[in-house]
Structure 1
Amino acid sequence: MTIHVYLAGQIHDDWRKELKAAADKKNLPVTFSGPMENHSRSDGIGEEIMGDQPGPVYRDDAASQLNNLRTRVWLEKADIVVALFGEEYRQWNTAMDAGAAIALDKPLILVRPEKLHHPLKEISQKAQVTVETIDQALEALAYLFADE
């Protein structure tokens, strides 16, 4: 059995690469998807596909349409969602993706540092598992395939 994991959350560091490499080391039968990690492409995809926009609000709206399409398709195909709330960046997209996973009844592993417990308590209660580190999220995924 291979499962598809959507990796929701910040795109400003290498946490996805680290998790994927660790999953490969453990030979876990998983595939991954996630948001566009090239931030400038994500911000410019609307104009790349639809042409020049008349201003920054329209540019953002065009990009948002395409990024929301990508997210929706990959979330719907996911067997499980891992959503990372980091300590440094605003987490609007992560909250939106975690909420969408919950609405789509997708199993959710929420990764958040202890200091974010209070602001994320409601999302944590809806997640199947809440952990504090990427390594713990990986171990939760690995447990799905444990024989004993």
Structure 2
Amino acid sequence: MKLTVYLAGEIHTNWRNELKEKAKSLNLPVTFVGPMENHDRSDSIGEEILGEQPNIIYKDEAASSINNLRTQILMSKSDLVIALFGEKYKQWNTAMDASAAISLGKPLILIRPKEFHHPLKELSRKANVTVETVNQALKALSYIFEEA
């Protein structure tokens, strides 16, 4: 059995590469997909496809349409979603993606620091598993493949 895992969450830190490398070292049969991690490309993709926009609001809306298309397709084809709420950056996209996973009936592992317990309590209760670290998420993912 091979799983496709959508990695939702902030794109400014190295957490995805950390998770991918550790999963690879454990020989987990997993393919990872996720949002565009190149922030400049993500912000400019609307104009690359639709042409120059009249102002920043239209530029953002054009890019959002293309990024939402990518997210919807990749997430809908995924078997599992892992969503990380980091400590430093605003996490609106993570909340949106975690909610989308729940709405799609996708199993969800939510990673959030202990200090985010209260603001994310409802979302945590909707997730299948809530953990505090990438390593804990990897352990939960690894458990799926353990034989009895």
The alpha-carbon deviation at position 78 of structure 1 amounts to 0.7
Partner of 1:39: 39
**Secondary structure of 1:70's aligned partner:** helix
**Secondary structure of 2:18's aligned partner:** helix
Q: TM-score, structure 1 length as denominator?
A: 0.99
Partner of 2:123: 123
Matched pairs, number: 148
Partner Cα distance (1:143, 1:112) in 2: 20
The alpha-carbon deviation at position 49 of structure 1 amounts to 0.8
**Secondary structure of 2:106's aligned partner:** coil
**Secondary structure of 1:75's aligned partner:** helix
Structure 1: 4+ residue segments shifted above 2 A: none
**Secondary structure of 2:87's aligned partner:** coil
Partner Cα distance (1:85, 1:15) in 2: 11
**Secondary structure of 2:115's aligned partner:** helix
Partner Cα distance (1:120, 1:99) in 2: 12
Q: TM-score, structure 2 length as denominator?
A: 0.99
Partner of 1:6: 6
The alpha-carbon deviation at position 147 of structure 1 amounts to 1.0
Partner of 1:107: 107
Partner Cα distance (1:128, 1:16) in 2: 20
The alpha-carbon deviation at position 143 of structure 1 amounts to 0.1
Partner of 2:140: 140
Q: Describe the superposition over 1:16-70 as per-residue Cα deviations: whole angstroms up to 9, x where unpaired.
A: 0000000000000000000000000000000011110011000000000000000
Partner Cα distance (1:81, 1:17) in 2: 16
1:17-56 maps to which residues of 2 (within 5 A)? Answer: 17-56=17-56
Query: Identity of paired residues, percent?
Result: 65
Partner Cα distance (2:64, 2:96) in 1: 13
Partner Cα distance (1:65, 1:136) in 2: 33
